[in-house]
Structure 1
Amino acid sequence: EFDWGVDRITKWAEDGGFTFVCTNIYDIRTNEPVDWAEPFAIIEKMGIKVGFIGLATPETAYKAHKARVANYEFRDPVEVITEWVPKVKDAGADIIIALTHLGSFQDKEGNITGEASDLCAVDGVDAVVSAHTHQSVCGLVNGKPLVQAYKYGRSFAKVTFIFDENNKLVSAEPFLDHLYARADTLKDDANMLAIYGKYEEEMSPVLGKILGKTTVDLDIALPW
């Protein structure tokens, strides 16, 4: 979200208690990767060390506010991840997932295209998490799972990995859980409702102000 300014990115990480992961954004003033993101992360679960390599779409360079990205270079994702896979393996990762904001698309026959799909041709990449294009994508490319969980939290993506007794990857299966399609099964979270209610009350004087009127029906049929 470069349109809000890079200083916001650091603040979001502090407020959320998480770390941004990205390898292909470089500061052109230093010719070094940006200092507000780590190139990769390794998380151990059930004895398996899962490596995540972060990548941002090069489209950011011309789709984000020009002044906000003037000091940054968004390098080719395939070239960068090819360079980093051996480093993450050397750091101890058993498998590597490309955690990206790269787009993808899937047609009615299940064929997957888009810049995220190119990563599935890179040796050492075991799965790809896509984003950016707000699509529901779930399938295999070169035998590797690629998922994109639609948009705005309306779906969740899941990849199930099966390992042998030596922690060697045997298989991986992608899955999408379309929450909007089963909204009647979801329960309200009291904590989230309290947070929402607080801000709704604070913003009501602004949100309740009438700015204009229309006699034309602007309703749009959406799939949720």
Structure 2
Amino acid sequence: MGIELSAVGNHEFDWGVDRIIKWAEDGGFTFVCTNIYDIRTNEPVDWAEPFAIIEREGVKIGFIGLATPETAYKAHKARVANYEFRDPVEIITEWLPKVKDAGADIIIALTHLGSFQDKEGNITGEAAALCEVDGVDAVISGHTHKSVCGLVNNKPLVQAYKYGRSFAKLTFIFDENNRLVSAEPALDHLYARADTLKDDANMLAIYERYDEELGPVLGKVLGKTTVELDHDRY
């Protein structure tokens, strides 16, 4: 898919840090995160880069990674026992000058921080708070499985819909001196135009193999509940 960078989500911890490292190696991409600290060293984790700078058409785009502090109680307790998830606003404020000094023309917060958008277009949530921080030019949100697209404090914030059903897009225009002129958020709802998409032959073959093998097992009803089951530990 051409993925170069990824934030660290709470479900990344489902199978342990060794798997996180292997996914990055196998996928040829880099996890970025500044606010997950190893309590044994009091340093940011060494299996993710704090930030990355990618150059496109002469413009240096900085990405600062952030994870939701909710990971501390939404991930398997044993998997996160050695980690502290620090305040995103405080941490990004600390890292912004470092990324600027590294040469970034603009800085995007690449996050697994949640956001919500009401019918009037107002955006709230953890990710929205980053738009109030000077030096942040745009925010990519995640975690809450909602479609979010708009401006907060005149800065674009996007969150694609869940399970790959949408793509989020940020379009930037710069002047001849690489100064940001405008930024526009957008969502491409793939589920709404499924008839225009072609199956990838290799992925389809893998899916069909596992569907045939696991379908009877996963389709077996084990029990029913009449109440909603809360997935949080607390």
With the length of structure 2 as denominator, give the TM-score of the two structures.
0.86
Distance in 2 separating the partners of 1:13 and 1:25 = 17
How many pairs align?
213
Letter in structure 2 aligned against 1:181:
A
- Tell me what 1:222 maps to: none
Which residue number corresponds to residue 32 of structure 2?
21
Task: Determine the C-alpha separation between the residues in 2 that align with 1:59 and 1:5.
Answer: 17
**Structure-to-structure mapping, 1:50-199, within 5 angstroms:** 50-199=61-210
Q: Which whole-Å deviations, capped at 9, do the CAs of 1:39-81 have from their partners, x for residues lacking one?
A: 0011111111111000000011111111111110000000000
Compared CA separation, residues 213 and 120, structure 1 to 2 (3 A):
closer
CA distance in 2, matches of 1:19, 1:118: 25
1:89 counterpart letter in structure 2: K
Deviation track 1:1-30 (CA, whole Å, cap 9, x = no partner) reads 212211211111111111110000000011
- Which amino acid in structure 1 is aligned with residue 150 of structure 2? G
Q: Which has the higher contact order (CA 8 A, sep 6+)?
A: 2
The equivalent of 2:5 in structure 1 is none
Root-mean-square deviation (CA, aligned residues, Å) is 1.6
Structure 1: any 5+ residue segments left out of the alignment?
215-224
Q: TM-score, normalised by structure 1?
A: 0.90
Unaligned runs of at least 5 residues, structure 2: 1-11, 225-234
Residues 1:6 and 2:24 are matched in the alignment: no
User: Matched residues in 2 for 1:130 and 1:61: separation?
Assistant: 18
The Cα shift of 1:85 comes to 0.7
Counterpart Cα distance in 2 of 1:195 and 1:36: 29
How far did residue 182 of structure 1 move?
1.3
Larger Rg computed on CA atoms: 1
* Comparing 4-13 and 100-109, the one that deviates more: 4-13
CA distance in 2, matches of 1:2, 1:139: 30
